Amino acid sequence: MFRIYHVAFLLLITTSLFAQTPTKWTSQYWPARWILHPTAPSRQYGIFHFRKAIDLAQKPTRFVVHVSADNRYRLFVNGKSVALGPARSDTQNWNYETLDLAPYLQAGRNVLAAQVWYMGEGAPFAQMSYQLGFLLQGDGDAEKVVNTDATWKIFQNPAYTPIKNDIPKLRTYIVAGDGDRVDAAQYPWGWEQPNFDDKTWVAAKPLNFPTKPRGLGTDGNWGLVPRTIPMMEEGTVRLATVRRSENGKMDNAFLQGKAPVTVPATTKAVFLLDQGHLTNAYPELTVSKGKGAVVTLSYAEALIDAKGQKGNRNDVEGRTMRGFDDQLVADGSDKRTFRPLWFRTYRYLQLTVETKGEPLVLDDLVGQFTGYPFEQKAQFAASDTTLKSIWNVGWRTAKLCAGETYYDCPYYEQLQYTGDTRIQSMISLYVTGDDRLMRKAIMDYDHSRFNDGLTQSRYPSADFQVIPTFSLFWVCMVHDYWMHRQDDAFVKSMLPGVLSVLNWHEQRIAKTGLNGPLEWWNFVDWSAWKNAKDETAGGVPAGAKKGGSSILTLQQAYTYFRAGDLLAHYGQNERAEYYRDLGRRLNKAVLAQCWDAGRGLFADTPDKSSFSQHANILAVLTNAVPIDQQSALLQKTMADTSLTQATFYFKFYLFEALKKTGLGDQFVAQLKPWRDMLAMGLTTFAENPEPTRSDCHAWSASPLYEFLSITCGIRPGEPGFRAVRIEPFLGDLTTVDGKMPHPLGEIAIQFQKTPTGGLTGNVTLPANLTGTLRWKGKSVSLKAGKQPVSL
């Protein structure tokens, strides 16, 4: 699906990396020092190279080091790239990687080299920072020879300058950082190789404060913590098609690495290249000759027409590139390879070549795909084979929105927002079984809490932003994790933060019983809200600023009920019942003040001037409307097009309401917007209905989770997934086959509907897991192993 021809995980990705982190480095000062350039500014833009040569009597069987940098590093051993890091976080939870370098070392002379960059004011918003620095600590006596100190050499690379890829240039909200401009004539080519002559380099300057793990000492700087997620996946991807050439000839053989392209002297040539699908990759462009030629690499999810619209993503005629840029200035030598410091997101990659007095040879262009190493373990197939395309494109969307954190979108922001992450986490659990990135995200948000008691809306983030509704969804994420994983110590550690979020919202309940005026940005959905003119930011329903929003009040109740489950499980029964009762009182206030008997719907505010799907979906999810009336209310909510409609993001909660009310048979019919995206040529699912900014937004990949939890019907029967409840909803489907990972193994189902409306098939549960199968009001018990079923 990703056209990955070769996949090579970076250094010991999933085996000894991290697993052997000695506890001493989390509880004592480190002998190694943070090092930097002795004269260059430490908080301004700069790209630096570090080197250290060592001699070893013999090839080691183990050579473990701990390494980090600010902003980021790329580590080489004897010329081979072995690691990229550190995993993004904040300064008081600054990650270091633990690596075994033994496979890359040899008897005799060895060279460790690192490229470290500090982007200054052009850094991505997702990059938090203290100042420039590089750190490498040997694990024991054998490795301490590589400790960072003044014996390391450093060079500031003058070849780099930043290219602004900002909001004015791209005419939209983009905070993914600057691009790279590299002047090959100033680049120290081969700097990472063992035989490079570094005699003109200067000694690195150690910082004068001690190096320490989190929790020690008096200084702030970096509080070091071990990385908790694996290194990123990397594999080769190649562009598929040359879609357009101007003033030059290029065919697909170049993209396959088989036919270099020569651009004549004093020529401006433009080549538009199509990956065929969106990807995240480090492009690697190799050129020869062409001294002084400027090559601009531009990246875009889609091309735009004269009105700035994307239209069908496959179309190129009459369309132009408006995208993120990098640039290489050739020095006339052979085989110079440009690779940006950070990955780029693109379906379309445009090369603009402007030569001077001699021709330039484009030798090759290849991408190195990167992302969190999620492995697709779930499967889904049904009698409607068109659903497979939704599955595949949804999985690509989820993959591209996951790296060292979850991303809302890889092209524009790369920020980890809670509303997005809750949905992404459920996809991760169900499709891959890997809970490590979800666990890290929950911790990241807990670390983001500020003096109000709320979590920040996105984190890590150098730009402070608060969305109170996302703080509530963080509490729900903790509840989700608790339902799917047996990890009591971790969940309990989140309860103080949970309580602070609940308290903030409780303090803002008005005498009416509804929410009063709320601070910050109370985002609900990118819907066309009516009568919300008093709200200054997008995505906010009426009643947030002045008070009285049924939607925000109901989301508060929704969260209190989940918090009550958590608190009761951990022995806080009195507090649990308090919040459950508070949730019921919020429901009662909404019913009394916002129910419109004439329309049979909940209004957005007590003045009943606007109505939305959102309020009525939440009324179902919270039991604000009696259970026996919920199905009818939800049917009306889906049918009434005069309501403010839920967009892709909030349809996740619509799908949850379908599940709750036993209307899951209608789920597949709700997928028309996803089919429409496929018809528009999208290869990932977008942020919003057309016109949309982002073509890749993981909250829109929610059908993956729903195929498994609604259509296949697989859900936890008890907290920690200690039991399973399977209640499939096939709708118009006649067959469904699915499987998903569980902490104990694999859950697999295979069902067929009978002509009389019954269900037959097989269920397979892992050892030590039991559960229940439900169908049309009937149920049977399930045991471990494979078993035939008939209802």
pLDDT for position 220: 77
pLDDT tens, residue by residue, 560-599: 999 999 999 999 999 999 999 999 999 999 999 999 999 9
Residue 469 in contact with residue 522, Cβ under 8 Å? Answer: yes
Instruction: Determine the 3-state secondary structure of 281 from DSSP.
Output: strand
Domain limits, CATH 2.60.120.260, in the chain: 18-157+181-229, 234-371
**Burial bucket for residue 309 (CB in 10 Å: 0-12, 13-18, 19+):** exposed
What global pTM score does this model have? 0.95
H or E segment at 573? Answer: helix 573-594
Question: What's 234-371's CATH class?
Answer: mainly beta
User: Which superfamily does 713-791 belong to?
Assistant: Maltose phosphorylase, domain 3 (2.60.420.10)
CA–CA separation, 462 and 460 (whole Å):
7
pLDDT for position 5: 35
Average pLDDT by stretches of 10, the chain with 791 residues? 37 40 83 98 98 97 97 98 97 97 98 98 97 97 97 98 94 95 98 97 95 88 96 97 97 96 98 98 98 98 95 96 97 98 98 98 98 98 98 98 98 98 98 98 98 97 98 98 98 98 98 96 92 71 94 98 98 98 98 97 96 98 97 98 97 98 97 98 97 96 98 98 98 97 98 95 98 95 96 90
Tell me the DSSP string of 310-369: --STT--TT-B---EEEEEE--S-S-EEE--SS-EEEEEEEEEEE--SS-EEEEEEEEEE
pLDDT for position 1: 38
The one-letter amino acid at 372: Y
Residue 295 in contact with residue 353, Cβ under 8 Å? Answer: yes
Domain limits, CATH 2.60.420.10, in the chain: 713-791
pLDDT tens, residue by residue, 606-664: 999 999 999 999 999 999 999 999 999 999 999 999 999 999 999 999 999 999 999 99
pLDDT for position 534: 59
CA–CA separation, 397 and 408 (whole Å):
10
Q: What is the largest CA-CA distance in the chain?
A: 87
pLDDT for position 3: 37
User: What angle do helix axes 488-506 and 573-594 make, rounded to 10 degrees?
Assistant: 40
pLDDT for position 772: 98
Neighbours of 655 (CB within 10 A): 22
pLDDT for position 535: 61
pLDDT for position 632: 98
CATH number of 18-157+181-229: 2.60.120.260
